[in-house]
């Protein structure tokens, strides 16, 4: 069995969850098996070079950092963390749709799609 993943509330400069994002993660995960969390990864590709990928996971992997707020949990893998340091994950609801948004101070530019960025 692997050791538990490190956990943080994001105040250490890793990644923060807004109150809205924490509420939405809680709602999404409430109908899932216990331990389910939201995973955020940075992957190569997209219009600007890197993209954010969100998805549900049954639990953290061994190299994940788990960010917690109000019972909601977000896992970020070790490889993605340097690209996300100091970021805030928020949840927005607009007429055209709702989505998780990443406010990333490391991104030099982004694309209109909201999921692609460059460093």
Q: CATH number, domain at 39?
A: 2.60.300.12
Instruction: Please identify every stretch of the chain with a pLDDT value under 70, giving residue numbers as ranges.
Output: 1-13, 46-48, 108-119
Domain containing residue 14: 7-108
Nearest to 71 by CA among 28, 40, 108, 118: 28
Is 61 domain-assigned?
yes
Hey, what are 87's tokens?
């970021």
Q: What is the pLDDT of residue 1?
A: 41
d(CA 63, CA 71): 21
Which residues lie below 8 Å from residue 87, measured CB to CB, with a gap of 6+? 15, 16, 102, 103, 104, 105, 106
pLDDT digit string (tens) for 68-92? 999 999 999 999 999 899 999 999 9
Is 18 a member of any domain?
yes
Per the structure, the count of domains in the chain is 1
What pLDDT shows up at residue 11? 55
Predicted pLDDT at 77:
93
Q: What is the pTM for the complete model shown?
A: 0.81
């Amino acid at each position: 069995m692997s050791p538990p993943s490190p956990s943080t509330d994001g105040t250490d400069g890793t990644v923060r969850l807004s109150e809205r994002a924490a509420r939405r993660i809680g709602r999404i995960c409430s109908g899932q098996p216990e331990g389910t969390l939201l995973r955020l990864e940075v992957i190569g590709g997209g219009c600007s070079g890197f993209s954010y990928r969100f998805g549900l996971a049954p639990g953290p992997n061994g190299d994940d950092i788990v960010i917690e707020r109000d019972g909601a949990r977000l896992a970020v893998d070790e490889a993605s963390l340097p690209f996300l340091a100091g970021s805030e994950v928020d949840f927005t609801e607009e007429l055209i749709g709702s989505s998780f948004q990443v406010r990333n101070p490391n991104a030099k530019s982004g694309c209109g799609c909201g999921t692609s960025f460059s460093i």
